[in-house]
Structure 1
Amino acid sequence: MHTTTAVAAFSYGGPESLRLIDVDAGEPGPGEVLLDVRAAAVNPIDWKVYSGRMGADPDRLPLRLGAEVAGVVAAVGPNVRWLAVGDEVIAWPVRGGYARRLVVPELATVRKPRALDWAPAAALLVAGTTAVHALTATRTGHGDVVLVHGGSGSVGRMIVQLAELRGARVVATASPASHDDLRSLGAVTVTYGATDEGSLVDRVRAATAELGPVTVAIDAVGSDEALDTSVELVEDRTRIATIAGFARAPELGIQLLGGGPGADPGTEIREAARAQLVELATDGTLDVHVTRTYALEDVAQAHADSRAGHARGKLVLIP
């Protein structure tokens, strides 16, 4: 029996519902491995599932949280083909990743190079595969001018970098505090929200005057401003995608990507991207920005910070 400490939500609501519990991590079954978790990333979906906005069925409680982790293989089950005890891996998608030990499918893992630190390793795949999916779905390539709404978030920063690698030019919306960081990644920056410089459409047009018209828009915010700007600037609506605008995407005729109702999950695209993302992060081509790390005991604070929405990058738990 492998006893471990894990995090679970015992009610629907805010971070105050989170508790540390002692559970049996279980024995790895066929095709599974037991991980000693070294880092677990915090993603918005983690707190959305217990906020009540995605349903509040009491029979689902307590809810284990966490979809992406990095750790060391502690035990292997029957029919494991590629991994051995002591191997360092990144695992996604997993269930209940906020834990000190966790059984995961071998097929959910990719090897973690020793040169890649634990926190960025755990923070890489959800944001990175989402970015690859968005760029693939919008057919982004050399010569495109890509508008990224929410460029300073973890997904937005990935989209900026990966679009540049594809030969596109990027215009990213963000608060002024994030502009220097986005410029360092190669993006042209535009402030979102109300300003004295006209509408967001006007500001984007001014910013792209020398680049040419916007050909692709990817929305990681879901605001009316982001969606309305996208459909006004991009002629081909099949080249507009959102990972957040669930309510309006169908009426606008744009692509809805991710795990929500009616969205394209892009499972094959995302899974195929994992190894390349690890390589790019390891050699420094792709910057995985970890804003802050937390002890497992401080998970409520990590979720409070995530829900506040001001983190430029990823938040990571260190069990």
Structure 2
Amino acid sequence: MLKKAVEGLLSKILAEFSYHPFIAPYLNADIQPYIHQWEAIARLCVRNPIRVLVGDEIGLGKTITALLIAKYLEALDRVKRVLIVVPRVLVEQWRKELIRMGIPESKIWQLESDTIDFIKLQNFPEGYYIASMDLLKREERITEVVDVPWDLVIIDEVHKFGYKTERFWRIGKMMVEAKTDRNVVFLSATPHRGDPRDYISRLQLLDPYLTESWKELDRRQFYEATHGTLLFRRTKEDINKIYEGKEVFPPAKFYAGVVKAREDEAEFIERLVNFLRSKLIEFAYERGLISERIIPLLTVLIFKRATSSPYAAMTTLERLLLRRVAPELTNELVDGV
């Protein structure tokens, strides 16, 4: 009985919203948001600025939630320039999602080392900008971007912005904490990774009123008060049982499969490991570019990167051989762990 009453109320509300100039475009779009995504919009629409961490489980549409917020603010004329900061591997995925959400390609800009100067000459036109974390962690690039009048900053995989990763942490301090009037949406499927200081420090970037130390805030009352306000964390079980009332997300079963390497694959791995060791030893002893102690770690990290795909193998080895930028490569790899 209660479920039918709620469904009837929602249907009536959605029918009214179908004539609303701000909401109607989303109701008629190809993408139909789930109720938990509407809930985020409903709770956040009265805030100015919006500053929130969307920490829903993987697969629950955090990207869509963030873009719904962006389009809502854009419809209210509160957003003209949006900066989306993501790991480099997600840049193309975000560009496709923007297009799928109806953002014209003419309004989508990709900030890269070879495009940023051109965009600066145009005074950063209104639109949606995608920048990789690797680009912004460079001193000369973050200073060029930080004072652009961004109306909304979206940071995906924000768990990478921890106080222990100095260069990423600096991006958060400069782009978010120092700009308290800026709309900010953090996205992460793993908002709390077992370290309360790391988690609370990230929330303090969002909320300038959290001035107490992380130890003072690390208590049950704080977590309860911020859940549903500063943090939105929903699980697939929540969606099935509470929001949708049906099995939208069926249970998943995972099975580990061990596959024996082919003869050519085994030979490639053996040669790759030997090559990496020899080059890293060369960098450590002959060139003095890296510490001997991190050779095993770097061997594993570069090996993982090089074996992810043939393209990754070629580009990784090319950088290692031709560019000879071992210190920069070392920092990038360690930051990515």
Report the TM range for the smaller structure's normalisation: 0.3 to 0.5
Flag the structure with larger Rg. Answer: 2
TM-score by length of 1: 0.36
Greater helix fraction, Structure 1 or Structure 2: 2
Q: Identify the structure with the greater strand proportion.
A: 1
